Amino acid sequence: MYWDESRISWTGNNPDLLGKQKNAIDTINFKKQIGIYLLHDMMGTLYVGQSFDRPISVRLKEHKSDRLAGRWQKFSWFGLYRIDDRGNIIESLNEQEPLHYRILIDTFEAILIESMEPRQNRKRGNNLEDFEYLQDGSR
Specify if 18 maps to a domain: yes
**132: pLDDT strictly greater than 60:** yes
Residue 50: pLDDT band with limits 50, 70, 90: very high
- With respect to residue 87, please indicate whether it lies within any of the assigned structural domains: yes
Would 39 be classed as within a structural domain? Answer: yes
pLDDT tens figures, 69-121: 999 999 999 888 888 888 888 888 776 666 677 777 777 887 788 777 777 77
- Is 121 a member of any domain? no
pLDDT band at 8 (very low <50, low <70, confident <90, very high): very high
Whether 65 maps to a domain, the answer reads yes
Average pLDDT score over residue span 32-36 = 92
pLDDT, averaged across the chain: 84
137 in a domain, yes or no?
Answer: no
The listed range with the strongest mean pLDDT (24-28, 104-108, 124-128) is 24-28
Q: Is residue 116 part of a domain?
A: no
Residue 13: domain span = 3-93
Within a domain: 51: yes
Question: Tell me, what's the pLDDT at 104?
Answer: 74
Domain count of the fold of the chain: 1
DSSP for the chain, please give it.
--EEGGGS---SSS---EEE-TT-S--EE-TT--EEEEEEETTEEEEEEEESSS-HHHHHHHTTSSTTTTS-SEEEEEE-SEE-TTS-EE----TTS---HHHHHHHHHHHHHHHH--TT--S--TT-GGG--EE----
